Amino acid sequence: MLISHYLHQLQLCVRRHTPLTAKNLHAQIIKAGLEYCGPLPNTLIDRYGKCGLIQDALHLFDEMPHRDHVSWASILTAHNQANLPHLTLSMFPSMLKDDELVPDHFVLASLVKACTALGAIRKASKCMPTLCCPHFVTTMLSSHP
Protein backbone atom coordinates (compact mmCIF):
# COMPACT_ATOMS: atom_id res chain seq x y z
CA MET A 1 0.00 0.00 0.00
CA LEU A 2 1.03 3.56 -0.51
CA ILE A 3 2.33 5.79 2.26
CA SER A 4 -0.50 8.23 1.51
CA HIS A 5 -3.04 5.51 2.34
CA TYR A 6 -1.53 4.99 5.79
CA LEU A 7 -1.29 8.74 6.40
CA HIS A 8 -5.00 9.10 5.60
CA GLN A 9 -5.94 6.18 7.84
CA LEU A 10 -3.87 7.61 10.71
CA GLN A 11 -5.68 10.93 10.34
CA LEU A 12 -9.00 9.10 10.68
CA CYS A 13 -7.76 7.49 13.92
CA VAL A 14 -7.45 10.92 15.49
CA ARG A 15 -10.85 12.09 14.29
CA ARG A 16 -12.50 8.98 15.66
CA HIS A 17 -10.16 8.74 18.67
CA THR A 18 -9.48 5.05 18.08
CA PRO A 19 -6.17 4.12 19.74
CA LEU A 20 -6.47 0.43 18.84
CA THR A 21 -6.82 1.29 15.16
CA ALA A 22 -3.65 3.41 15.38
CA LYS A 23 -1.77 0.44 16.84
CA ASN A 24 -3.15 -1.90 14.17
CA LEU A 25 -2.12 0.52 11.42
CA HIS A 26 1.36 0.72 12.94
CA ALA A 27 1.59 -3.09 12.79
CA GLN A 28 0.57 -3.00 9.11
CA ILE A 29 3.15 -0.30 8.42
CA ILE A 30 5.86 -2.44 10.04
CA LYS A 31 4.80 -5.50 8.01
CA ALA A 32 4.95 -3.41 4.84
CA GLY A 33 8.49 -2.34 5.75
CA LEU A 34 7.51 1.33 5.86
CA GLU A 35 8.02 2.10 9.55
CA TYR A 36 10.72 4.70 8.91
CA CYS A 37 9.62 5.88 5.47
CA GLY A 38 8.87 9.52 4.79
CA PRO A 39 6.49 11.21 7.20
CA LEU A 40 5.10 7.96 8.66
CA PRO A 41 7.16 7.76 11.88
CA ASN A 42 6.54 11.40 12.80
CA THR A 43 2.85 11.03 11.94
CA LEU A 44 2.63 7.91 14.11
CA ILE A 45 4.22 9.75 17.04
CA ASP A 46 1.78 12.61 16.59
CA ARG A 47 -1.23 10.28 16.31
CA TYR A 48 -0.18 8.18 19.29
CA GLY A 49 0.07 11.37 21.32
CA LYS A 50 -3.36 12.55 20.20
CA CYS A 51 -4.87 9.15 21.01
CA GLY A 52 -3.34 9.17 24.51
CA LEU A 53 -0.78 6.44 23.77
CA ILE A 54 2.25 8.30 25.09
CA GLN A 55 4.29 5.15 25.84
CA ASP A 56 3.85 3.96 22.26
CA ALA A 57 4.84 7.40 20.97
CA LEU A 58 7.94 7.44 23.16
CA HIS A 59 8.93 3.90 22.18
CA LEU A 60 8.71 4.73 18.48
CA PHE A 61 10.62 7.99 19.04
CA ASP A 62 13.40 6.16 20.91
CA GLU A 63 13.69 3.56 18.13
CA MET A 64 13.89 6.07 15.28
CA PRO A 65 17.24 5.89 13.45
CA HIS A 66 17.03 9.60 12.57
CA ARG A 67 15.10 12.24 14.47
CA ASP A 68 14.45 15.67 13.00
CA HIS A 69 12.65 18.82 14.13
CA VAL A 70 9.27 17.30 13.36
CA SER A 71 10.08 14.21 15.45
CA TRP A 72 11.06 16.36 18.40
CA ALA A 73 8.10 18.72 18.10
CA SER A 74 5.78 15.69 17.87
CA ILE A 75 7.10 13.95 20.98
CA LEU A 76 7.27 17.16 23.03
CA THR A 77 3.70 18.01 22.02
CA ALA A 78 2.61 14.44 22.85
CA HIS A 79 3.98 14.86 26.37
CA ASN A 80 2.08 18.11 26.79
CA GLN A 81 -1.12 16.51 25.48
CA ALA A 82 -0.69 13.70 28.01
CA ASN A 83 -0.39 16.31 30.76
CA LEU A 84 3.29 15.47 31.27
CA PRO A 85 4.93 18.88 30.85
CA HIS A 86 7.82 17.93 33.13
CA LEU A 87 8.83 15.28 30.57
CA THR A 88 8.65 17.87 27.80
CA LEU A 89 11.18 20.00 29.67
CA SER A 90 13.40 17.10 30.72
CA MET A 91 13.68 15.83 27.12
CA PHE A 92 14.56 19.18 25.58
CA PRO A 93 18.31 19.14 26.45
CA SER A 94 18.65 15.84 24.55
CA MET A 95 17.43 17.55 21.40
CA LEU A 96 20.31 19.98 21.65
CA LYS A 97 22.95 17.53 22.84
CA ASP A 98 22.14 14.14 21.32
CA ASP A 99 20.61 15.15 18.00
CA GLU A 100 22.39 18.53 17.76
CA LEU A 101 19.28 20.26 16.45
CA VAL A 102 18.47 23.93 16.78
CA PRO A 103 14.93 24.40 18.14
CA ASP A 104 12.29 25.81 15.82
CA HIS A 105 9.07 27.67 16.59
CA PHE A 106 7.09 24.45 17.09
CA VAL A 107 9.55 23.28 19.75
CA LEU A 108 9.43 26.74 21.33
CA ALA A 109 5.63 26.50 21.52
CA SER A 110 5.86 23.12 23.26
CA LEU A 111 8.40 24.44 25.76
CA VAL A 112 6.37 27.55 26.54
CA LYS A 113 3.24 25.42 27.02
CA ALA A 114 5.11 23.05 29.37
CA CYS A 115 6.56 25.93 31.38
CA THR A 116 3.13 27.54 31.62
CA ALA A 117 1.52 24.29 32.76
CA LEU A 118 4.13 23.92 35.49
CA GLY A 119 4.22 27.58 36.42
CA ALA A 120 7.94 27.18 35.78
CA ILE A 121 9.03 30.73 35.17
CA ARG A 122 12.60 29.98 36.29
CA LYS A 123 12.81 26.98 33.97
CA ALA A 124 11.49 29.09 31.11
CA SER A 125 14.11 31.74 31.76
CA LYS A 126 16.80 29.03 31.47
CA CYS A 127 15.38 27.69 28.19
CA MET A 128 14.86 31.03 26.51
CA PRO A 129 18.54 32.01 26.14
CA THR A 130 19.09 28.73 24.30
CA LEU A 131 16.14 29.42 22.04
CA CYS A 132 17.23 32.98 21.41
CA CYS A 133 20.71 31.99 20.31
CA PRO A 134 21.87 33.33 16.94
CA HIS A 135 21.21 30.00 15.20
CA PHE A 136 17.57 30.01 16.31
CA VAL A 137 17.04 33.60 15.21
CA THR A 138 18.72 32.87 11.86
CA THR A 139 16.55 29.78 11.36
CA MET A 140 13.39 31.74 12.13
CA LEU A 141 14.32 34.58 9.80
CA SER A 142 15.21 32.26 6.93
CA SER A 143 11.93 30.34 7.26
CA HIS A 144 9.81 33.50 7.04
CA PRO A 145 10.73 35.57 3.95
Contact partners, residue 101, CB within 8 Å, separation at least 6: 67, 68, 69, 72, 95
Distance, in Å, from the CA atom of 106 to the CA atom of 122, rounded to the nearest integer, reads: 21
pLDDT in tens, 53-62: 999 999 999 9
Distance, in Å, from the CA atom of 102 to the CA atom of 78, rounded to the nearest integer, reads: 19
Q: What one-letter code names the amino acid at 115?
A: C
DSSP secondary structure letter of residue 52? T
Give the residue-averaged pLDDT of 100-104.
83
**pLDDT confidence tier of residue 144, bands split at 50, 70 and 90:** very low
**pLDDT confidence tier of residue 7, bands split at 50, 70 and 90:** confident
Burial of residue 20, with CB atoms counted within 10 A of its CB: 0-12 exposed, 13-18 middle, 19 or more buried: exposed
Give the pLDDT confidence score for residue 16 in this predicted structure: 74
Nearest to 70 by CA among 49, 85, 53: 49
pLDDT in tens, 30-39: 999 988 888 9
Distance, in Å, from the CA atom of 48 to the CA atom of 34, rounded to the nearest integer, reads: 17
Give the pLDDT confidence score for residue 129 in this predicted structure: 57
**pLDDT confidence tier of residue 115, bands split at 50, 70 and 90:** confident
pLDDT higher than 90, residue 80: yes
